[in-house]
Amino acid sequence: MIKDITIGQYFPGNSLVHKLDPRAKLVLTFVYILLIFLCKNFVSLGILVAYLLVSVLLSRISVRMILKSLKPIVILVCITSVLQIFYNSDGTVLWELGKFKLTTGGVFMALFTTVRIIALVTASALLTYTTSPTLLTDAIERLFSPLKRVHINVHSIAMMMTIALRFIPTLIDEVDKIMSAQKARGADLDTGGIVQRGKALIPVFVPLFVSAFTRAYDLAFAMECRCYRGGEGRTRLRVMRLRARDYIVFLVTAVCVAGIAVANRLLPAVI
Amino acid sequence: MPILETQNLTYVYGEGTPFRIEALKNVNISIEKGELVGVIGHTGSGKSTLMQHLNGLLKPTSGKVLLGGEDIHASKEATRAARFRVGLCFQYPEYQLFESTVYKDIAFGPRNMGLNETEIRERVQRAAEFLEIRSDWMDKSPFDLSGGEKRRVAIAGVMAMQPEILILDEPTAGLDPRGRDRITDMICKYGLSTGSTVLVVSHSMDDVASFASRILVMDHGQNVLGGTVDEVFRQVDKLVSMGLDVPQLTKIFLRLQASGVSVRTDIYTLAQAKRELLRLFFEKGGTA
Ligand SMILES: Nc1ncnc2c1ncn2[C@@H]1O[C@H](COP(=O)(O)OP(=O)(O)OP(=O)(O)O)[C@@H](O)[C@H]1O
Ligand SMILES: [Mg+2]
C-alpha cells in the first residue's frame, strides 16, 4: 500500500547518530556520496562499507527498515549488474555463449557497482531516518545562508521545504482515506488498463487537491495571524552548536578519507 | 443466522515498523438483520478500524469477517460484492465529494454497480428524499454547499447504493445540535422504512439512546460490552471508567435518585423521561 513508502521517513531515537548536529550529518552524507563516486578499488570501497555499517549499528535503526528502503532500487540494481556483467570483457573468461562472455572483470564490475548503489541509498536513507525533517531543512538553511549575499531568499526556500516535508505524511494519510472512501462507493482503483486507471483516479485527486488548497490557505492565514513575515530578524528556538561528538566524528571521517586516498593511489583500480 | 459477524478479529497497523499499533484485539460481534446498532467507544478505541473491516476495506491480521455466513475475503469477487452489500460512509464524508454536480456525485456509487440510467435516477431520488436534499441542489456543484449540506449529499451517495447493511462512521460529528438531530432522524427513518441493518458510530450517548436497538461498546480495541440500550447504560461506573458516559437525561434521574427522590433510573429518551416525570407528578398529588 501507499503507506509502505519509507524513504524520507523519520524514526525518532536517541542514538549518537540521531544526536549529531544535523548540519554535520548533512555535510558528512554529502562527503560520503562524493567518496562513493571517487573510490576506485575494493579496499577503498571496503572502508566506505565499514563506515556505513558502523553508522547503521550506532543509529539502532533496525536492519529491516534499511532493507525496506532498498526495495525500490532492486530492479535498478539487477539491470545495471546484468549490463555490467555482459558489457565488460576484461580478465579471464569464465563462461561463454556465442557472443556473450562472462569474465572476471565483468563480475567484479557488477559487484562493485551493486555495492556502490546500495551504499548510496542506505546512506541517504540513514540521514532521513535519523534526522527530523524540520532539523534537516534548518540545517540546509544554515549551510546555504551565505547565498543571501547574492539575493537568494534561502529562508523562504527552506520554509517551503519544511512545509512540503511536513505535509507529505498528512497528504499520504489523506490519499489513503479518500481512496478507501471511494472504494467503499465501489470505485475500482486496482484493475483495468492505464487509461481506465487514470480515469479511476479522478475521484481521488479532485478531493485531494481541494483539501490541499484549503489546507494551504488555512496555513497561510494561521502563519500571518502569528505575525510571520519571513526570515528577517527571526531568532531560533533551537540553536545549533557543534559539540565534541561532532568533532570526533569529523576526525574519524577524515581518517577514513585519508585511507581511501591512500588506497586509491597505491592499489590498482577496478574501474 | 446473523447477517454480519466477526470471529476473533485482530488488526495491527504498521506491522514490522516501530509504529506498530494493535487497533483491534479478538473482536467477536454479531449483527442480526434489521437491527439499528449504535457503536460507542472513546477516541482511538478502534471503532473506525472495525467498521472498515466490515465491508472488506481492511483485511484482518487474523480472524474472520462473515457476511451472510461467508468469509468476505474468501475470493476477490466476494470482497467486491461485500463492498456493495455493506455500504460504508466514512467519518467526515464530505471530503469524498468530487463530481461536478450533486446528482452525479450521489450517482457515483450506483453507477459503479453497473445499473442502468433509470435505476440510477430512481435510487438517487430515493436517497435524496431520505436526506431531504432539495431538487434544485441536484445541478449545483457540491463544493458550493455548506458543510452540513455536503455531509447529507455524501451520506446520500452511500445510501443510493441501497446496501443491505449501512454503516455510518460518526455521521453527526461537527454539526450543530439541530443538524445532528435531523441526520439522526433521517438515518432512523431510513432503517425503519427499508428494513436495512444500520450501524452508527457515535460519540453522543443521547443520539445512541434515541435510535439504537442495540449498543456495542469498544474499549482499547476490544468489544467490552454489548446489549440493549438498557443493558449497556445501566453499567454507569463501567462506562465512566472507560471515558464514556450515560445520556444526559439518565444523569438527571440518577441525581434525583441520589438526592432521595424515588424515581426509575432506566430513563434514556425524552419520551421515557416525560412519562416518568408525569407519573411522579401525579403520585405526589398533582393534577393536570
Ligand atoms: N491509518 C492508520 N495508521 C496507523 N495507525 C492507525 C491508523 N488509523 C488508526 N490508527 C490507530 O488505530 C487505533 C484505532 O483507531 P480508530 O481510528 O479505529 O479509532 P476510533 O475509535 O475510530 O477513534 P475516533 O473516535 O477518534 O474516530 C488508534 O490508536 C489509531 O492511532
Ligand atoms: Mg473513528
Q: Say how many Å lie between the CA of residue B22 and the centre of ligand 1.
A: 10
Judge residue A138's burial from the number of C-beta atoms within 10 Å of its C-beta, 0-12 exposed, 13-18 middle, 19 or more buried.
buried
pLDDT for residue A5:
57
In terms of DSSP bridges, do strands A93-97 and A100-103 run parallel, antiparallel, or are they unpaired?
Answer: antiparallel
Q: Which is the closest atom of ligand 1 to the Cα of B42?
A: 25
pLDDT for residue A137:
85
CB–CB contact B83 A203 (8 Å): no
CA end-to-end distance (rounded Å), chain A: 40
Q: Chain B residue with minimal CA distance to A188?
A: B112
For Cα atoms A156, A162, A167, give the angle at the middle one, nearest 5 degrees: 130
One pLDDT digit (tens) per residue for chain A, 271 residues? 455 555 567 888 899 999 999 999 999 999 999 999 998 888 999 999 999 999 999 999 888 888 888 888 888 899 988 888 877 777 777 777 777 777 888 888 888 889 999 999 999 999 989 998 888 888 988 899 888 888 888 888 888 888 887 888 889 889 999 999 999 998 887 777 788 888 888 999 999 999 999 999 999 999 999 988 877 777 877 788 899 999 999 999 999 999 999 998 888 877 6
B159: pLDDT strictly greater than 50:
yes
Q: Nine-digit cell at A215?
A: 489546507
Cβ contact A130:A26 at 8 Å: no
Provide the residue ranges of all domains of chain B, joining segments of one domain with +.
1-89+163-243, 98-161, 247-288
Q: Measuring CA to CA, how many Å separate A15 from each of A20, A99, A247, B213?
A: 9, 53, 16, 54
Indicate if the alpha-carbon torsion angle A228, B147, A214, A166 is positive or negative.
positive
pLDDT for residue B267:
87
B163 lines ligand 1 (CB under 6 A): no
Residue A176 CA to residue A156 CA, distance in Å, equals 30
pLDDT for residue A194:
80
Cβ contact A168:A196 at 8 Å: no
pLDDT tens sequence across B208-255: 998 899 999 999 999 999 999 999 999 989 999 998 989 988 999 999
| Closest alpha carbon to B255 in B236, B274, B238, B231 | B236
Residues 6+ apart with CB under 8 A from B193: none
Which chain A residues touch B85 with a CB distance below 8 Å?
none
pLDDT for residue B260:
87
Gap from A259 CA to chain B (nearest CA, Å): 36
CB–CB contact A178 B96 (8 Å): yes
Which chain B residues touch A188 with a CB distance below 8 Å?
80, 112
Gap from B113 CA to chain A (nearest CA, Å): 7
Q: Which is the closest atom of ligand 1 to the Cα of B47?
A: 21
Residues 6+ apart with CB under 8 A from B99: B105, B108, B142
Local structure of B88: helix, strand or coil: strand
| Closest alpha carbon to A184 in B88, B91, B104, B96 | B88
The residue whose grid cell reads 449504535 is: B38
Mean pLDDT computed over B189-198: 90
Report the percentage of chain B scoring pLDDT > 90.
60
Residue in B14, B17, B158 closest to A185 by CB: B158
pLDDT for residue B161:
93
CA end-to-end distance (rounded Å), chain B: 49
Which chain A residues touch B113 with a CB distance below 8 Å?
186
Local structure of A253: helix, strand or coil: helix
Question: Out of 3.30.365.10, 3.40.50.300, 3.30.300.30, 3.90.700.10, which CATH number does the structure's domain B1-89+163-243 have?
Answer: 3.40.50.300
**pTM, to two decimals:** 0.77
pLDDT tens sequence across B8-28: 999 999 887 777 899 999 999
Local structure of A30: helix, strand or coil: helix
Side chain identity at B90, as an amino acid letter? F
pLDDT band at B76 (very low <50, low <70, confident <90, very high): confident
Gap from A4 CA to chain B (nearest CA, Å): 9
Phi, psi of B184 (to 5 degrees): -60, -45
DSSP code at position A269: P
Q: For chain A, how long is the longest CA-to-CA vector?
A: 73
CB–CB contact A180 B113 (8 Å): no
Indicate if the alpha-carbon torsion angle A58, A63, A65, A66 is positive or negative.
positive
| Closest alpha carbon to B88 in A181, A85, A243 | A181
CB–CB contact A184 B143 (8 Å): no
For Cα atoms B15, B21, B27, give the angle at the middle one, nearest 5 degrees: 100
Which chain A residues touch B97 with a CB distance below 8 Å?
207
| Closest alpha carbon to B29 in B57, B48, B3 | B3
Mean pLDDT computed over B187-207: 91
